[in-house]
Amino acid sequence: MPERRPAVPGLYSIDDGDSPPLEGRRCLDCGYLFFPPHGFGCEACGAPPERVERAALEGAGVLRSLAVVHRHGGGGIEAPFTVGEIALDAGPMVRAVLTGSEPLAIGDRVRSVLCAVTAPAGGRGDDRGLWSRTVNANAGGGAGEEAVEKVELRFEKARR
């Protein structure tokens, strides 16, 4: 069985059960939560990077918008696919690929899930990323990683 690794390290956990958390950041000065993580400090109050800590953000929220992508020039994902903007319960807004067989509508509760992804052989996928402020900006694999299963975080309709 191949080793499992996140398609993009440092953005989400692959070992925390049914609905994996996202790796966000929290400002110790003002409490602002943000995703994706970065090393610039707080984007709300301007606190320096040393005043920002890691914060696990629950992979649950409300679908605020969605769009079906019919033509996509990047690697690592085949069109058509659906992208959604999710307001996480913790506060930050993220964009991610939506998955599952149930139809989705704006206002639906969604949760994070892990999905195996296939990257172009020997390539890194789309180095530009699919979109900004995304959960999976580059899901490509690298050469010599045949024994590694890449998993990425996507969102599906929450079970009741």
Domain extents in the chain: 3-9+59-157, 22-57
pLDDT of residue 158: 93
Question: Nearest-CA neighbor of 89 among 35, 49, 134?
Answer: 35
The secondary element (H helix, E strand) that includes residue 70 is none
- Is the pTM for the entire model greater than 0.85? no
Q: What is the pLDDT tens value at each position of the chain, 160 positions in all?
A: 567 788 878 888 887 667 889 999 999 999 999 999 999 999 999 999 999 999 999 999 999 999 999 988 877 778 899 999 999 999 999 999 999 989 999 999 999 999 887 654 444 444 333 333 455 544 444 445 456 778 889 999 998 7
CATH classification code of 22-57:
2.20.28
| Helix, strand, coil percent values for the chain (each to nearest 5) | 0, 40, 60
pLDDT of residue 19: 81
pLDDT of residue 14: 83
Could you say which DSSP state residue 62 is in? E
CA 19 to chain centre: 12
Enumerate the β-bridge partners of residue 5. 150
